[in-house]
Amino acid sequence: MGTPHLTPRRVAVLLALGVIALDQVTKAWVVALDKPVHLIGDFLQLRVSRNSGAAFSSFTGGGPVIAVIALVVIGMLTILIGRSHRTVEIVTMGAILGGATGNLIDRIVRGSGVFDGKVVDFIDFSFFPSFNVADSALTIGITALLLVAIFRPEP
């Protein structure tokens, strides 16, 4: 039996699973620390904050709505990953899928009701809102996908 071929779809799935795992492990770790860690003085710290809204704490308290939107996005990404024929698009959608799923897990498991959990953010630059691994994957994936769309030659 030979080595399985690493297709773009498999890379996307592995990337999504890696993002989810790294996101959840790092969140569990910083929550367990229960104190800020100063990496570069006050400039960069690991400090737990919880976000019930969207990016930059916008739409505070809108977690259930955001969770439903995330479920739709996750479903759409799964379909698009299966249909796309462009490697860069497939891989970037894997990063977005992992990020969306990582934060959705928080909304499911870090609350007392359906989808009312708060997302754990912990990477805290003194001049920027705090974020997490899932947020980073979402930002990188969306930016890369937009750049591909902008610079892709017309068919």
**Active-site annotation holder among 23, 106, 121, 124:** 121
CA distances from 81 to 48, 74, 109, 141, 145 (A): 33, 10, 26, 13, 12
Q: How far apart are CA 59 and CA 65, in angstroms?
A: 10
Q: State the catalytic residue, choosing from 23, 106, 124, 135.
A: 135
Sign of the CA dihedral with 118 first, then 31, 98, and 96 last: positive
Question: What letter represents residue 63's amino acid?
Answer: G
Say how far apart CA 151 and CA 148 lie, in whole Å.
5
Q: Known catalytic residue: 135?
A: yes
Residues with catalytic roles = 121, 135
